[in-house]
Protein backbone atom coordinates (compact mmCIF):
# COMPACT_ATOMS: atom_id res chain seq x y z
CA UNK A 1 0.00 0.00 0.00
CA UNK A 2 2.83 2.36 0.88
CA UNK A 3 4.62 1.55 -2.39
CA UNK A 4 1.43 2.20 -4.34
CA UNK A 5 0.91 5.54 -2.62
CA UNK A 6 4.50 6.56 -3.22
CA UNK A 7 4.29 5.44 -6.83
CA UNK A 8 1.07 7.34 -7.41
CA UNK A 9 2.46 10.45 -5.77
CA UNK A 10 5.70 10.22 -7.73
CA UNK A 11 3.94 9.69 -11.05
CA UNK A 12 1.49 12.55 -10.41
CA UNK A 13 4.37 14.82 -9.42
CA UNK A 14 6.25 14.01 -12.60
CA UNK A 15 3.10 14.65 -14.64
CA UNK A 16 2.59 18.02 -12.96
CA UNK A 17 6.22 19.01 -13.53
CA UNK A 18 6.03 18.01 -17.18
CA UNK A 19 2.78 19.91 -17.76
CA UNK A 20 4.18 22.90 -15.89
CA UNK A 21 7.25 22.69 -18.08
CA UNK A 22 5.11 22.68 -21.21
CA UNK A 23 3.25 25.82 -20.20
CA UNK A 24 6.49 27.44 -19.03
CA UNK A 25 7.85 26.85 -22.54
CA UNK A 26 4.89 28.76 -23.93
CA UNK A 27 5.52 31.58 -21.48
CA UNK A 28 9.27 31.84 -21.98
CA UNK A 29 9.70 30.86 -25.64
CA UNK A 30 6.52 32.14 -27.24
CA UNK A 31 5.35 35.06 -25.10
CA UNK A 32 8.90 36.39 -24.70
CA UNK A 33 9.26 36.62 -28.46
CA UNK A 34 5.77 38.12 -28.83
CA UNK A 35 6.59 40.88 -26.33
CA UNK A 36 9.72 41.87 -28.28
CA UNK A 37 7.88 41.72 -31.61
CA UNK A 38 5.04 43.72 -30.09
CA UNK A 39 7.44 46.52 -29.21
CA UNK A 40 8.77 46.58 -32.80
CA UNK A 41 5.22 46.42 -34.18
CA UNK A 42 3.99 49.28 -32.00
CA UNK A 43 6.98 51.41 -32.95
CA UNK A 44 6.40 50.75 -36.68
CA UNK A 45 2.70 51.44 -36.32
CA UNK A 46 3.54 54.68 -34.47
CA UNK A 47 5.51 55.75 -37.58
CA UNK A 48 2.43 54.94 -39.70
CA UNK A 49 0.18 57.01 -37.41
CA UNK A 50 2.67 59.91 -37.42
CA UNK A 51 2.74 59.81 -41.24
CA UNK A 52 -1.07 59.97 -41.34
CA UNK A 53 -1.09 62.88 -38.91
CA UNK A 54 1.53 64.65 -41.02
CA UNK A 55 -0.54 64.09 -44.17
CA UNK A 56 -3.61 65.49 -42.40
CA UNK A 57 -1.61 68.52 -41.27
CA UNK A 58 -0.36 69.11 -44.84
CA UNK A 59 -3.91 69.02 -46.17
CA UNK A 60 -5.72 70.94 -43.44
CA UNK A 61 -3.31 72.66 -41.00
CA UNK A 62 -0.03 73.67 -42.71
CA UNK A 63 1.16 75.45 -39.54
CA UNK A 64 1.24 72.07 -37.75
CA UNK A 65 3.52 70.45 -40.35
CA UNK A 66 6.83 71.17 -38.47
CA UNK A 67 5.46 69.60 -35.28
CA UNK A 68 4.20 66.58 -37.24
CA UNK A 69 7.60 66.19 -38.90
CA UNK A 70 9.32 66.38 -35.52
CA UNK A 71 6.98 63.68 -34.17
CA UNK A 72 7.74 61.51 -37.19
CA UNK A 73 11.47 61.96 -36.54
CA UNK A 74 11.12 60.99 -32.88
CA UNK A 75 9.19 57.85 -33.74
CA UNK A 76 11.70 56.97 -36.44
CA UNK A 77 14.51 57.23 -33.85
CA UNK A 78 12.55 54.98 -31.45
CA UNK A 79 11.89 52.42 -34.20
CA UNK A 80 15.56 52.39 -35.19
CA UNK A 81 16.62 51.77 -31.57
CA UNK A 82 14.18 48.86 -31.20
CA UNK A 83 15.31 47.30 -34.48
CA UNK A 84 18.91 47.39 -33.29
CA UNK A 85 17.89 45.82 -29.98
CA UNK A 86 15.33 43.19 -31.11
CA UNK A 87 15.91 42.88 -34.85
CA UNK A 88 17.63 39.50 -34.62
CA UNK A 89 14.69 38.03 -32.64
CA UNK A 90 11.99 39.45 -34.91
CA UNK A 91 10.19 37.31 -37.48
CA UNK A 92 11.24 38.12 -41.10
CA UNK A 93 7.87 39.47 -42.30
CA UNK A 94 7.55 41.88 -39.37
CA UNK A 95 11.20 42.85 -39.69
CA UNK A 96 10.77 43.67 -43.39
CA UNK A 97 7.69 45.79 -42.66
CA UNK A 98 9.46 47.64 -39.83
CA UNK A 99 12.57 48.22 -41.97
CA UNK A 100 10.26 49.47 -44.73
CA UNK A 101 8.63 51.99 -42.38
CA UNK A 102 12.08 53.06 -41.23
CA UNK A 103 13.27 53.75 -44.81
CA UNK A 104 9.90 55.36 -45.65
CA UNK A 105 10.09 57.78 -42.70
CA UNK A 106 13.75 58.60 -43.37
CA UNK A 107 12.91 59.35 -47.01
CA UNK A 108 10.00 61.61 -45.99
CA UNK A 109 12.20 63.62 -43.61
CA UNK A 110 15.01 64.10 -46.14
CA UNK A 111 13.06 66.48 -48.36
CA UNK A 112 9.86 68.50 -48.52
CA UNK A 113 7.72 66.68 -45.94
CA UNK A 114 4.32 67.56 -47.42
CA UNK A 115 5.41 66.93 -51.00
CA UNK A 116 6.63 63.44 -50.14
CA UNK A 117 3.75 62.61 -47.84
CA UNK A 118 1.29 63.50 -50.60
CA UNK A 119 3.19 61.60 -53.29
CA UNK A 120 0.85 58.88 -54.64
CA UNK A 121 3.60 56.26 -54.98
CA UNK A 122 4.80 56.83 -51.42
CA UNK A 123 1.23 56.69 -50.09
CA UNK A 124 0.72 53.36 -51.84
CA UNK A 125 4.03 52.18 -50.37
CA UNK A 126 2.84 53.15 -46.88
CA UNK A 127 -0.46 51.30 -47.31
CA UNK A 128 1.42 48.23 -48.54
CA UNK A 129 3.70 48.38 -45.50
CA UNK A 130 0.65 48.65 -43.20
CA UNK A 131 -0.77 45.51 -44.83
CA UNK A 132 2.55 43.72 -44.32
CA UNK A 133 2.53 44.81 -40.67
CA UNK A 134 -0.98 43.39 -40.17
CA UNK A 135 -0.07 40.15 -41.97
CA UNK A 136 2.96 39.80 -39.72
CA UNK A 137 0.77 40.03 -36.61
CA UNK A 138 -1.64 37.51 -38.07
CA UNK A 139 1.30 35.12 -38.58
CA UNK A 140 2.42 35.75 -35.00
CA UNK A 141 -1.09 34.97 -33.72
CA UNK A 142 -1.32 31.77 -35.77
CA UNK A 143 2.10 30.64 -34.58
CA UNK A 144 1.11 31.33 -30.98
CA UNK A 145 -2.14 29.41 -31.41
CA UNK A 146 -0.27 26.48 -32.95
CA UNK A 147 2.26 26.38 -30.12
CA UNK A 148 -0.51 26.47 -27.51
CA UNK A 149 -2.41 23.63 -29.21
CA UNK A 150 0.71 21.48 -29.46
CA UNK A 151 1.51 21.95 -25.77
CA UNK A 152 -2.11 21.37 -24.92
CA UNK A 153 -2.16 18.02 -26.73
CA UNK A 154 1.03 16.94 -24.99
CA UNK A 155 -0.34 18.08 -21.62
CA UNK A 156 -3.55 16.17 -22.34
CA UNK A 157 -1.58 12.99 -23.07
CA UNK A 158 0.46 13.41 -19.90
CA UNK A 159 -2.68 14.05 -17.84
CA UNK A 160 -4.41 10.99 -19.31
CA UNK A 161 -1.44 8.78 -18.44
CA UNK A 162 -1.31 10.21 -14.92
CA UNK A 163 -5.01 9.52 -14.39
CA UNK A 164 -4.75 5.93 -15.71
CA UNK A 165 -1.77 5.05 -13.53
CA UNK A 166 -3.33 6.76 -10.52
CA UNK A 167 -6.51 4.73 -10.93
CA UNK A 168 -4.57 1.46 -11.24
CA UNK A 169 -2.44 2.14 -8.19
CA UNK A 170 -5.46 3.37 -6.31
CA UNK A 171 -7.22 0.04 -6.90
CA UNK A 172 -4.17 -1.85 -5.56
CA UNK A 173 -3.78 0.44 -2.57
CA UNK A 174 -7.42 -0.09 -1.51
CA UNK A 175 -8.90 2.73 0.55
CA UNK A 176 -5.79 4.80 1.22
CA UNK A 177 -4.57 4.81 -2.37
CA UNK A 178 -8.10 5.51 -3.61
CA UNK A 179 -8.32 8.49 -1.24
CA UNK A 180 -4.98 9.83 -2.49
CA UNK A 181 -6.01 9.37 -6.10
CA UNK A 182 -9.26 11.20 -5.42
CA UNK A 183 -7.38 14.04 -3.75
CA UNK A 184 -4.97 14.29 -6.69
CA UNK A 185 -7.86 14.27 -9.17
CA UNK A 186 -9.68 17.00 -7.30
CA UNK A 187 -6.60 19.09 -6.56
CA UNK A 188 -4.82 18.84 -9.92
CA UNK A 189 -6.88 17.30 -12.70
CA UNK A 190 -9.88 19.56 -12.29
CA UNK A 191 -7.88 22.83 -12.49
CA UNK A 192 -5.95 21.44 -15.44
CA UNK A 193 -9.19 20.56 -17.16
CA UNK A 194 -10.45 24.08 -16.52
CA UNK A 195 -7.23 25.49 -17.93
CA UNK A 196 -7.58 23.23 -20.97
CA UNK A 197 -11.15 24.45 -21.54
CA UNK A 198 -10.05 28.06 -21.14
CA UNK A 199 -7.18 27.53 -23.58
CA UNK A 200 -9.68 26.04 -26.06
CA UNK A 201 -11.87 29.11 -25.62
CA UNK A 202 -8.99 31.49 -26.25
CA UNK A 203 -7.88 29.41 -29.23
CA UNK A 204 -11.40 29.71 -30.70
CA UNK A 205 -11.16 33.51 -30.59
CA UNK A 206 -13.17 34.25 -27.43
CA UNK A 207 -11.09 36.86 -25.58
CA UNK A 208 -13.51 37.58 -22.71
CA UNK A 209 -11.93 37.76 -19.23
CA UNK A 210 -11.09 34.31 -17.85
CA UNK A 211 -12.72 33.08 -14.62
CA UNK A 212 -10.26 32.41 -11.80
CA UNK A 213 -8.99 28.85 -11.38
CA UNK A 214 -8.21 27.49 -7.93
CA UNK A 215 -5.47 24.97 -7.22
CA UNK A 216 -1.75 24.82 -6.52
CA UNK A 217 0.39 27.91 -7.01
CA UNK A 218 1.76 26.48 -10.29
CA UNK A 219 -1.77 26.16 -11.65
CA UNK A 220 -2.60 29.71 -10.60
CA UNK A 221 0.63 30.92 -12.21
CA UNK A 222 -0.29 29.10 -15.41
CA UNK A 223 -3.74 30.67 -15.29
CA UNK A 224 -2.13 34.10 -14.91
CA UNK A 225 0.09 33.43 -17.92
CA UNK A 226 -2.91 32.27 -19.95
CA UNK A 227 -4.84 35.39 -18.96
CA UNK A 228 -1.93 37.62 -20.00
CA UNK A 229 -1.77 35.80 -23.31
CA UNK A 230 -5.54 36.34 -23.72
CA UNK A 231 -5.02 40.04 -23.14
CA UNK A 232 -2.30 40.19 -25.79
CA UNK A 233 -4.48 38.35 -28.30
CA UNK A 234 -7.41 40.63 -27.47
CA UNK A 235 -5.24 43.65 -28.25
CA UNK A 236 -4.29 42.09 -31.58
CA UNK A 237 -7.95 41.45 -32.36
CA UNK A 238 -8.78 45.07 -31.57
CA UNK A 239 -5.92 46.15 -33.81
CA UNK A 240 -7.39 44.06 -36.61
CA UNK A 241 -10.82 45.67 -36.10
CA UNK A 242 -9.22 49.12 -36.13
CA UNK A 243 -7.45 48.32 -39.40
CA UNK A 244 -10.71 47.09 -40.99
CA UNK A 245 -12.48 50.25 -39.86
CA UNK A 246 -9.67 52.48 -41.14
CA UNK A 247 -9.48 50.72 -44.50
CA UNK A 248 -13.28 50.81 -44.91
CA UNK A 249 -13.37 54.52 -44.09
CA UNK A 250 -10.58 55.26 -46.57
CA UNK A 251 -12.48 53.34 -49.29
CA UNK A 252 -15.74 55.23 -48.80
CA UNK A 253 -14.70 58.48 -50.53
CA UNK A 254 -13.16 56.97 -53.70
CA UNK A 255 -16.14 54.62 -54.07
CA UNK A 256 -18.56 57.55 -53.79
CA UNK A 257 -16.64 59.41 -56.50
CA UNK A 258 -16.61 56.30 -58.64
CA UNK A 259 -20.38 55.97 -58.23
CA UNK A 260 -20.84 59.60 -59.32
CA UNK A 261 -18.58 59.14 -62.34
CA UNK A 262 -20.39 55.97 -63.46
CA UNK A 263 -23.73 57.71 -62.94
CA UNK A 264 -22.64 60.56 -65.20
CA UNK A 265 -21.62 58.05 -67.86
CA UNK A 266 -24.93 56.19 -67.56
CA UNK A 267 -26.94 59.45 -67.80
CA UNK A 268 -25.14 60.42 -70.98
CA UNK A 269 -23.65 63.54 -69.41
CA UNK A 270 -20.25 62.70 -70.83
CA UNK A 271 -21.67 61.91 -74.24
CA UNK A 272 -23.93 59.30 -75.83
CA UNK A 273 -23.04 55.65 -75.33
CA UNK A 274 -23.51 52.71 -77.61
CA UNK A 275 -25.67 49.79 -76.48
CA UNK A 276 -22.58 47.73 -75.70
CA UNK A 277 -21.04 50.59 -73.71
CA UNK A 278 -24.30 51.00 -71.75
CA UNK A 279 -24.20 47.32 -70.79
CA UNK A 280 -20.60 47.71 -69.57
CA UNK A 281 -21.53 50.81 -67.54
CA UNK A 282 -24.51 48.94 -66.06
CA UNK A 283 -22.21 46.12 -64.95
CA UNK A 284 -19.84 48.67 -63.42
CA UNK A 285 -22.75 50.29 -61.54
CA UNK A 286 -23.81 46.96 -60.06
CA UNK A 287 -20.25 46.16 -58.97
CA UNK A 288 -19.76 49.65 -57.49
CA UNK A 289 -23.01 49.48 -55.52
CA UNK A 290 -22.03 46.06 -54.17
CA UNK A 291 -18.69 47.41 -52.94
CA UNK A 292 -20.39 50.45 -51.37
CA UNK A 293 -22.82 48.14 -49.51
CA UNK A 294 -19.86 46.05 -48.34
CA UNK A 295 -17.96 49.10 -47.04
CA UNK A 296 -21.14 50.43 -45.36
CA UNK A 297 -21.72 47.06 -43.68
CA UNK A 298 -18.14 46.97 -42.39
CA UNK A 299 -18.43 50.51 -41.03
CA UNK A 300 -21.77 49.72 -39.37
CA UNK A 301 -20.30 46.55 -37.85
CA UNK A 302 -17.33 48.54 -36.54
CA UNK A 303 -19.61 51.18 -35.02
CA UNK A 304 -21.72 48.57 -33.23
CA UNK A 305 -18.70 46.55 -32.05
CA UNK A 306 -17.05 49.72 -30.72
CA UNK A 307 -20.12 50.39 -28.57
CA UNK A 308 -20.75 53.80 -30.13
CA UNK A 309 -23.84 55.52 -28.81
CA UNK A 310 -27.08 54.84 -30.67
CA UNK A 311 -28.15 57.86 -32.73
CA UNK A 312 -31.85 58.07 -31.91
CA UNK A 313 -34.23 60.09 -34.08
CA UNK A 314 -37.04 61.57 -32.01
CA UNK A 315 -40.47 61.43 -33.65
CA UNK A 316 -39.36 58.73 -36.10
CA UNK A 317 -42.15 56.50 -37.50
CA UNK A 318 -41.35 52.84 -37.95
CA UNK A 319 -43.63 52.46 -40.98
CA UNK A 320 -41.60 55.08 -42.84
CA UNK A 321 -38.38 53.20 -42.03
CA UNK A 322 -39.89 49.91 -43.23
CA UNK A 323 -41.13 51.58 -46.43
CA UNK A 324 -37.61 52.85 -47.20
CA UNK A 325 -36.16 49.38 -46.60
CA UNK A 326 -38.75 47.80 -48.92
CA UNK A 327 -37.97 50.39 -51.58
CA UNK A 328 -34.25 49.64 -51.33
CA UNK A 329 -34.77 45.88 -51.77
CA UNK A 330 -37.54 46.17 -54.39
CA UNK A 331 -35.07 46.56 -57.28
CA UNK A 332 -33.31 43.32 -56.34
CA UNK A 333 -36.68 41.59 -55.97
CA UNK A 334 -37.76 42.79 -59.41
CA UNK A 335 -34.51 41.57 -60.99
CA UNK A 336 -35.00 38.09 -59.50
CA UNK A 337 -38.71 37.92 -60.31
CA UNK A 338 -39.70 37.79 -56.64
CA UNK A 339 -42.63 39.56 -54.98
CA UNK A 340 -42.06 41.61 -51.86
CA UNK A 341 -45.24 42.02 -49.78
CA UNK A 342 -45.53 44.28 -46.70
CA UNK A 343 -48.36 43.65 -44.24
CA UNK A 344 -49.00 46.04 -41.34
CA UNK A 345 -51.84 46.34 -38.84
CA UNK A 346 -52.63 49.74 -37.38
CA UNK A 347 -50.34 52.74 -37.40
CA UNK A 348 -47.07 53.22 -35.58
CA UNK A 349 -46.74 56.11 -33.10
CA UNK A 350 -43.80 58.53 -33.16
CA UNK A 351 -40.86 56.72 -31.61
CA UNK A 352 -37.25 57.23 -30.56
CA UNK A 353 -35.22 55.02 -32.91
CA UNK A 354 -31.88 54.81 -34.66
CA UNK A 355 -33.56 54.69 -38.05
CA UNK A 356 -30.33 53.79 -39.88
CA UNK A 357 -29.76 50.68 -37.75
CA UNK A 358 -33.37 49.51 -38.07
CA UNK A 359 -33.40 50.07 -41.83
CA UNK A 360 -30.06 48.29 -42.31
CA UNK A 361 -31.28 45.30 -40.27
CA UNK A 362 -34.51 45.04 -42.26
CA UNK A 363 -32.64 45.33 -45.56
CA UNK A 364 -30.33 42.47 -44.52
CA UNK A 365 -33.24 40.15 -43.65
CA UNK A 366 -35.28 41.03 -46.75
CA UNK A 367 -32.24 40.71 -49.03
CA UNK A 368 -31.57 37.21 -47.68
CA UNK A 369 -35.20 36.27 -48.26
CA UNK A 370 -35.15 37.52 -51.85
CA UNK A 371 -31.88 35.75 -52.65
CA UNK A 372 -33.06 32.32 -51.48
CA UNK A 373 -36.40 32.65 -53.29
CA UNK A 374 -37.06 31.32 -56.77
CA UNK A 375 -38.77 33.46 -59.45
CA UNK A 376 -42.48 33.75 -58.77
CA UNK A 377 -42.17 33.24 -55.01
CA UNK A 378 -43.07 35.86 -52.40
CA UNK A 379 -41.27 37.37 -49.43
CA UNK A 380 -43.67 38.58 -46.71
CA UNK A 381 -42.78 41.39 -44.28
CA UNK A 382 -45.27 41.60 -41.39
CA UNK A 383 -45.18 44.43 -38.85
CA UNK A 384 -47.12 44.24 -35.57
CA UNK A 385 -47.06 46.20 -32.30
CA UNK A 386 -46.81 44.55 -28.88
CA UNK A 387 -47.77 45.98 -25.46
CA UNK A 388 -44.64 44.49 -23.85
CA UNK A 389 -41.31 42.89 -24.76
CA UNK A 390 -40.34 39.20 -25.09
CA UNK A 391 -39.43 38.91 -21.40
CA UNK A 392 -42.37 40.94 -20.17
CA UNK A 393 -40.68 44.33 -20.39
CA UNK A 394 -43.34 47.10 -20.36
CA UNK A 395 -43.69 49.61 -23.16
CA UNK A 396 -44.50 49.60 -26.84
CA UNK A 397 -42.48 47.04 -28.82
CA UNK A 398 -42.32 46.43 -32.55
CA UNK A 399 -42.21 42.96 -34.11
CA UNK A 400 -41.24 42.69 -37.78
CA UNK A 401 -41.27 39.20 -39.28
CA UNK A 402 -39.64 38.40 -42.64
CA UNK A 403 -40.86 35.13 -44.18
CA UNK A 404 -39.87 33.71 -47.55
CA UNK A 405 -41.06 30.70 -49.55
CA UNK A 406 -37.59 29.25 -50.13
CA UNK A 407 -36.17 25.97 -48.81
CA UNK A 408 -35.91 27.21 -45.19
CA UNK A 409 -32.92 27.21 -42.86
CA UNK A 410 -31.16 23.78 -42.72
CA UNK A 411 -30.95 22.30 -39.23
CA UNK A 412 -27.14 22.13 -39.31
CA UNK A 413 -26.97 25.83 -40.26
CA UNK A 414 -29.38 27.20 -37.62
CA UNK A 415 -26.80 27.33 -34.77
CA UNK A 416 -24.42 29.37 -36.96
CA UNK A 417 -26.70 31.78 -38.87
CA UNK A 418 -25.62 34.71 -36.67
CA UNK A 419 -21.92 33.83 -36.79
CA UNK A 420 -19.87 36.55 -38.56
CA UNK A 421 -18.41 35.59 -41.96
CA UNK A 422 -20.33 32.28 -42.07
CA UNK A 423 -21.90 31.60 -45.48
CA UNK A 424 -23.74 28.64 -46.98
CA UNK A 425 -25.45 28.20 -50.34
CA UNK A 426 -29.23 27.85 -49.73
CA UNK A 427 -31.88 27.58 -52.41
CA UNK A 428 -31.31 30.02 -55.25
CA UNK A 429 -28.64 31.94 -53.31
CA UNK A 430 -24.94 31.24 -53.73
CA UNK A 431 -22.37 31.34 -50.91
CA UNK A 432 -20.34 34.24 -52.37
CA UNK A 433 -21.51 36.78 -49.77
CA UNK A 434 -19.43 38.11 -46.90
CA UNK A 435 -21.59 36.57 -44.18
CA UNK A 436 -22.17 39.83 -42.29
CA UNK A 437 -25.88 40.52 -42.96
CA UNK A 438 -27.52 38.49 -40.19
CA UNK A 439 -24.78 39.00 -37.55
CA UNK A 440 -24.81 42.75 -38.22
CA UNK A 441 -28.62 42.88 -37.99
CA UNK A 442 -28.58 41.03 -34.66
CA UNK A 443 -25.91 43.27 -33.17
CA UNK A 444 -27.73 46.39 -34.35
CA UNK A 445 -30.98 45.25 -32.77
CA UNK A 446 -29.25 44.36 -29.52
CA UNK A 447 -27.70 47.83 -29.49
CA UNK A 448 -31.29 49.15 -29.60
CA UNK A 449 -32.35 46.87 -26.73
CA UNK A 450 -34.02 44.29 -29.00
CA UNK A 451 -32.95 41.18 -30.86
CA UNK A 452 -33.12 39.22 -34.13
CA UNK A 453 -34.38 35.64 -33.87
CA UNK A 454 -34.66 32.74 -36.28
CA UNK A 455 -38.02 30.98 -35.88
CA UNK A 456 -39.11 27.52 -36.90
CA UNK A 457 -39.28 27.11 -40.65
CA UNK A 458 -42.55 27.92 -42.35
CA UNK A 459 -44.06 25.46 -44.82
CA UNK A 460 -42.27 26.35 -47.00
CA UNK A 461 -39.66 29.00 -46.21
CA UNK A 462 -37.58 30.54 -43.43
CA UNK A 463 -38.80 32.98 -40.77
CA UNK A 464 -36.74 35.71 -39.12
CA UNK A 465 -38.15 38.28 -36.71
CA UNK A 466 -36.93 41.63 -35.38
CA UNK A 467 -38.17 42.64 -31.91
CA UNK A 468 -37.20 46.00 -30.42
CA UNK A 469 -38.69 48.78 -28.25
CA UNK A 470 -40.06 51.90 -29.90
CA UNK A 471 -38.74 54.21 -27.19
CA UNK A 472 -40.05 55.63 -23.92
CA UNK A 473 -43.41 57.32 -23.89
CA UNK A 474 -44.62 55.83 -27.16
CA UNK A 475 -48.24 54.71 -26.57
CA UNK A 476 -50.01 52.13 -28.67
CA UNK A 477 -52.53 53.62 -31.12
CA UNK A 478 -56.17 53.44 -30.16
CA UNK A 479 -58.03 50.31 -31.20
CA UNK A 480 -60.57 52.38 -33.14
CA UNK A 481 -57.80 53.59 -35.42
CA UNK A 482 -56.55 50.09 -36.25
CA UNK A 483 -56.39 49.51 -39.96
CA UNK A 484 -54.72 46.96 -42.18
CA UNK A 485 -52.23 47.96 -44.84
CA UNK A 486 -50.81 45.78 -47.59
CA UNK A 487 -48.15 46.87 -50.08
CA UNK A 488 -46.53 45.00 -52.89
CA UNK A 489 -43.17 45.79 -54.44
Q: Where are the domains of the chain?
A: 2-235, 244-305, 313-488
Q: Is the pLDDT of residue 465 over 90?
A: yes
Lowest mean pLDDT among 191-195, 434-438, 464-468: 434-438
pLDDT score for 379: 93
Say which residue, 424 or 275, is predicted with more confidence.
Answer: 275
Who's near 232: CB < 8 A, 6+ residues apart?
A: 31, 34, 38
Q: Of the ranges 76-85, 167-176, 298-307, 317-326, which one carries the lowest mean pLDDT score?
A: 298-307
Q: What average pLDDT does range 184-188 have in this prediction?
A: 66
Alpha carbon distance 216, 183 (integer Å): 12
Express the helix, strand and coil content of the chain in percent, nearest 5 each: 65, 10, 20
* Model confidence band, residue 488 (pLDDT cutoffs 50, 70, 90): very low
Instruction: Assign 464 to helix, strand or coil.
Output: strand
Q: Region 296-306: what's the mean pLDDT?
A: 66
Long-range CB pairs of 263-266 (<8 Å, 24+ gap) are none
In three-state secondary structure terms, 467 is strand
Q: What percent of the chain clears pLDDT 90, i.e. is strictly above it?
A: 6
Q: Residue 482 pLDDT > 50, yes or no?
A: no
Return the bridge partners of 353, or none. 313
Distance CA 173, CA 177 (A): 4
Q: Which CATH number fits domain 313-488: 3.30.565.10, 1.10.10.10, 1.10.3720.10, 3.40.50.10740?
A: 3.30.565.10
- Read out DSSP for 321-359? HHHHHHHHHHHHHHHTT-EEEEEEES-PPPEEE-HHHHH
Poorest-confidence range of 10-24, 131-145, 408-422? 10-24
Nearest C-alpha neighbor of 126 from the set 47, 241, 70:
47
Quote the pLDDT of residue 475: 43
- Spatial distance between the Cα atoms of 118 and 123, rounded to a whole number of angstroms: 7
Amino acid sequence: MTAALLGAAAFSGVAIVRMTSLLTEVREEQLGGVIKEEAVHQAAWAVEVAARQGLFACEHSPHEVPAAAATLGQRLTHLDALLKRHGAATQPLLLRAAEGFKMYAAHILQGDTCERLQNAALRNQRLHLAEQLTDAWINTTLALHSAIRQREMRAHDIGSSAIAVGLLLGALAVVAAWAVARWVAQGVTRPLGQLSALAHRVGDGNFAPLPAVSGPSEIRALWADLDRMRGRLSELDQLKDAFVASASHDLRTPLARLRTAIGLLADGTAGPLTAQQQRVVALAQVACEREIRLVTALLDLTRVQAGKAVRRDEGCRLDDVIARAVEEVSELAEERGTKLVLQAEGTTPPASLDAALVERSLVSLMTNGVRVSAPGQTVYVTRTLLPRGPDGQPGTWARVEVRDEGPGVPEDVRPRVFEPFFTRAVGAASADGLGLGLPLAQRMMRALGGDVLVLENANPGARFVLVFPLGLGAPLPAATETTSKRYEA
